[in-house]
Amino acid sequence: MAAPSPEQQQGPPAVDPSSEKANLTSDSDAESTPPAPGPAGPGFPPAPDGGLRAWLAVAGSACIFFSCLGFQNSFGVFEQYYLSHQLRDQSPDDVAWIGSLTAFIQFAGGAVAGPLFDRYGVWVVRPGAMLYVFALMMISICTRYWHFMLAQGVLSGFAMSLLQVPAFAAVSQYFDKKRAAALGVVVSGSSIGGVVFPIAFSKMLNGSSLGFGWSVRVMGFVVLPLLLFAILTVGPRLPPRKTNFFIVGAFREVRFMMVVLAAFFCFIGMFTPLFYIPTYAVSLGIEATLASYLLAIVNAASTFGRIIPGILADKFGKLNVFGLGGILTGMLVLCLTSAKSTAGLVVYSVAFGFTSGTIISGASAALSICTDDPRNLGTYMGMGMAMASAASLLGPPVDGVMLDRYGSFLQPCIFSGVVCLAGGFLALATKMTTPKGLFGRV
């Protein structure tokens, strides 16, 4: 039966899922439907918030983030190694461009990967997995600066973009009331990867005869079965949408743009310790292997910083937790140069890891409240993270320029910390665009 016209609707409408109008929720829908975080969307049953299929999608997505963002979170170890080996003639900001370009492309590419997932589902993930393993193998044979820029900066970043945003979107379709917690578990995979990769890389380089090439190849062989598992488990719950590739109307939504800007500022600040804490530790006279372990400690602590705040966000509000995480992270970035001993750096790494862990998963959960139709989640997350990811092109290289000019980590920390604080406060201010207002649990 055809859906009744808007003039005939007296209650919640029965919308034809295949129609173009199913992508939007009318004003009458919003008035007649009880408010709830992340409604199921027109014409579809509510998200199961659990079950075997849903948790398999979470497990597969966590494997993606272990393999991709976990590897990217280890770039501080690579930067320290490159500056003393293959790229010893390059400046810190030159080397930082490799990691910042990877971080930018892996999220900027989501502007395309998100809509593709909304349309084609798991077919986006499969080529991304194969391309990512290929990129790691190419990194293992790099010897010059432009080699690393192409293989690690461009190729691996593009492959990550085909994996990460679809993983976010798939899990978001299976969860509603527990969405932030589920996304926290997903992103915690990157924290575990951020523990494993720096330690394994350091051990293979310094405690074996493998050398750089085979150390990176071993990492590629480790992620291969994990990505094969992800291919089998990460897929959409809902049928694809058939309307416009991009949702241009999102850019006219104040809430969406404020969340994107808040994430942009937070990303600028949070990358500073992730990129430079091993280099900072070595500058204090700490042995290089122990310095690389600090990054592992940061990522270990961020495992709890992604899961626990995710659970709290479902109860106390996604914007509340995201904003608080940005503020605390900014404060800790400002305090980096206050840690001057091994013990101090270990304590700092634990604290920073926990607070910064809320930012990636928190930003994704915050973006999910900007649309009522779960079929649009991939597109909203992809477009939002793409714009916010431009921060990765600014933060680390600017820090590197300041470090090269002043010879001190104080100036980069002041710049990054203040900007991250601004992002946290802007996330809280976004609550004014919601029905519950500034003091609500949003």
Set out the domains of the chain in order of their start, with CATH numbers.
50-233+245-433 (1.20.1250.20)
pLDDT in tens, 65-106: 999 888 887 787 788 788 888 888 888 778 888 887 887 888
Percentages helix, strand, coil for the chain, rounded to the nearest 5?
75, 0, 25
Buried b (16+ CB within 10 A) or exposed e, 377-389: bbbbbbbbbbbbb
Phi and psi (nearest 5°) for 94?
Answer: -65, -45
Amino acid at the residue 50: G
Q: How far apart are CA 382 and CA 101, in angstroms?
A: 17
Q: How far apart are CA 398 and CA 382, in angstroms?
A: 25
Neighbours of 35 (CB within 10 A): 9
Q: To the nearest whole number, what is the mean pLDDT of the chain? A: 80
Query: What's the predicted TM-score (pTM) here?
Result: 0.69
On the question of pLDDT at 130 being above 90, the answer is yes
Place of tokens 């530790």: 281
Q: Across residues 41-57, what is the average pLDDT?
A: 77
In this prediction, residue 262 carries a pLDDT of 92
CA atoms within 13 A on the CB side of 369: 32
Q: How far apart are CA 260 and CA 57, in angstroms?
A: 26
For residue 271 the two structure tokens come to 């990358």
In this prediction, residue 46 carries a pLDDT of 76
DSSP 85: T
